[in-house]
Amino acid sequence: MEYHFQKVAGVKSVTSGYTGGSKADPTYKEVSSGRTGHAEAVEVEYDPSVVSYETLAKLFFEVHDPTQLNRQGPDMGTQYRSAVYYANDEEKKIAEKLIGELKANGYDVVTEVEAASEFYPAEDYHQDYYEKTGKQPYCHIYEKRFNK
């Protein structure tokens, strides 16, 4: 996800990490075990005068598969669940609206919409992963799902 969000004008920073679980300061190894309750996630800081939350949320739904339950591509487990963690009621409404549009277009969306909780940045070696490794994204391929 980080790779795609970093390309958007108005995005100031994207941090890979973990959220939605119960373990404080989890490590990648702990999260990947599936026992912390956390999901792998990104925290996006952006300038709302340049890019809207809705634009970013649409991108989220177009670079991951919101119909896959507890997996993304070859990665399986609850830590790979499809989830939007909102910061306020407006973000929640937008996420729910977009899910409604996807469902109306025939997608069986399983994305959870939850209030944001503590976000824990991943280890340094998980930040800017594709830039560091020179690889291309393999489980987050852009697919247009919205008409606009």
Domain contains 104: yes
- Number of domains, the chain: 1
Question: What range does the domain containing 17 cover?
Answer: 2-133
Domain contains 144: no
Across the beta sheet with 39-46, the strand order is 39-46, 11-19, 120-121
Residue 37 gets the label, from left (phi > 0), alpha (psi -120 to 50) or beta, of left
Render each residue's pLDDT in the chain as its tens digit; 148 residues.
Answer: 888 899 999 999 999 999 999 999 999 999 999 999 999 999 999 999 999 999 999 999 999 899 989 887 777 889 989 999 999 999 999 999 999 999 999 999 999 999 999 999 998 877 765 565 556 555 566 678 887 5
Domain contains 148: no
Domain contains 122: yes
56: which residues sit within 8 A by CB, 6+ positions away? 5, 8, 11, 44, 46
Q: Which pTM was predicted?
A: 0.86
Instruction: Please name the residue that has the structure tokens 């109306």.
Output: 104
Q: Please report, for the domain that includes residue 109, its CATH number.
A: 3.30.1060.10
The helix/strand/coil state of 80 is helix
Domain contains 139: no
Domain contains 15: yes
- The single-letter DSSP state of residue 122 is P
Instruction: Please count the residues of the chain.
Output: 148
Task: Confirm if 20 and 85 have CB atoms less than 8 A apart.
Answer: yes
